[in-house]
Amino acid sequence: MPKQQKIYFASDIHLGMSPPEDSLKRERLFIEWLEEVRQDAREIWLLGDVFDYWFEYRKVVPRGFVRFQAKLAELQEAGIDIHLFTGNHDVWMFDYLPSTLGVQVHHGLLEQEWNGKHFLLGHGDGLLRRERSYRMLQRMFRNPFLQWCYARIHPNASIAFAQRWSRNSRNKKGAFLPYLGKEKEYQVLFAREQISSSPKINYFVFGHRHIPYDIRITDTSRVICLGDWIHNFSYAVFDGKDLQLKRYLPDRGHIIIEE
């Protein structure tokens, strides 16, 4: 691809996750990365859990993250297409980001093609049918009537409740599940199921697991998990020929994570 034609992918920044000072550091670091990749980016795809919590009331959105939002608007106005997927933490994105910043918001899974390479993109949660309780919780969160009911709660109460729930869940279960291995990771199992019916997919690109990995499942197909910006500071970039998984380390540059 010529200059300013690369496609970038990142996920799981969890802006707003306590403590506040760590969230601000992540926000500043991610903005620094956005400023660097704008030099050759055509599109930037953020695959969910950009925010640790997000719920849009009709007239109110969560406070904070103005630096990040301003940078997205700046990049969008500079001609770089910005795409956001909802994740399990920020599922309640509606029309604020598209109407205010000009970014495109996506839900679920999406197929894309660039330079003859086929991608399946998504946050990567609840992919397998066996995750029944989790998939039921997803349906509840996405139910319009339940969303309407939740929106009747005052933002001060609902945001405090959501932050406490998220914090207690992390304390009880641990921040993230350990790596299960390439034969057991749910996203890899899902990709193996899908490849039998959609052999044209070259790259399955997901977030959610907070573990950067690049696993080959056929001669022409790979599963890429983008990691996170809490511990790994990882992302993927497609140059028109190949997709590489990298870490962003300000003192060392962009480090390739080997397949």
Report the share of the chain in percent with pLDDT over 70.
Answer: 92
Query: 23 with 15: CB under 8 angstroms?
Result: yes
What pLDDT, on a 0 to 100 scale, did the predictor assign at position 3? 62
Q: Is residue 242 part of a domain?
A: yes
What pLDDT, on a 0 to 100 scale, did the predictor assign at position 197? 85
- Is 60 exceeded by the pLDDT of residue 57? yes
Query: 244 with 236: CB under 8 angstroms?
Result: yes
Highest mean pLDDT among 45-49, 62-66, 88-92: 45-49
Q: Is residue 259 part of a domain?
A: no
* pLDDT digit string, tens, across residues 208-239: 999 999 999 999 999 999 999 999 999 999 99
What confidence category does residue 253 fall into, taking pLDDT thresholds of 50, 70 and 90? low
Phi, psi at 184, each rounded to 5°? -125, -15
Phi, psi at 49, each rounded to 5°? 55, 40
What DSSP designation does 213 have?
A: E
Q: Is residue 13 part of a domain?
A: yes
User: How confident is the prediction for the chain on average, in pLDDT?
Assistant: 89
What pLDDT, on a 0 to 100 scale, did the predictor assign at position 199? 85
Phi, psi at 113, each rounded to 5°? -130, 130
Task: Report the alpha-carbon distance of residue 92 to residue 65 in Å, rounded.
Answer: 16
Task: Report the alpha-carbon distance of residue 151 to residue 228 in Å, rounded.
Answer: 29
What confidence category does residue 175 fall into, taking pLDDT thresholds of 50, 70 and 90? low
Tokens standing for 84? 């956001």
> Between these two residues, 237 and 1, which has the higher pLDDT value?
237
Q: Is residue 256 part of a domain?
A: no
Q: Average the pLDDT over each of 67-76, 133-142, 163-172, 219-228 and give the range with the smallest value.
A: 163-172
- Is 60 exceeded by the pLDDT of residue 1? no
Which DSSP string do the residues of 226-237 spell out, in sequence order?
E--TTTT-EEEE
Q: Is residue 253 part of a domain?
A: no
What pLDDT, on a 0 to 100 scale, did the predictor assign at position 172? 60
**Domain extent at residue 10:** 6-247
Tokens standing for 99? 């109407």
> Which CATH number goes with the domain that contains 84?
3.60.21.10
Number of structural domains the chain divides into:
1
Task: Report the alpha-carbon distance of residue 226 to residue 248 in Å, rounded.
Answer: 12
Q: Is residue 229 part of a domain?
A: yes
What confidence category does residue 131 fall into, taking pLDDT thresholds of 50, 70 and 90? low
Q: Is residue 64 part of a domain?
A: yes
What pLDDT, on a 0 to 100 scale, did the predictor assign at position 242? 94
Q: Is residue 252 part of a domain?
A: no
What pLDDT, on a 0 to 100 scale, did the predictor assign at position 210? 93
Placement of tokens 């690369």 in the chain: 6
The torsion angle over the Cα atoms of residues 93, 193, 222 and 10, rounded to 10 degrees, is 10
* pLDDT digit string, tens, across residues 237-246: 999 999 999 9
Report the share of the chain in percent with pLDDT over 90.
Answer: 59
* pLDDT digit string, tens, across residues 177-192: 788 888 889 999 999 9
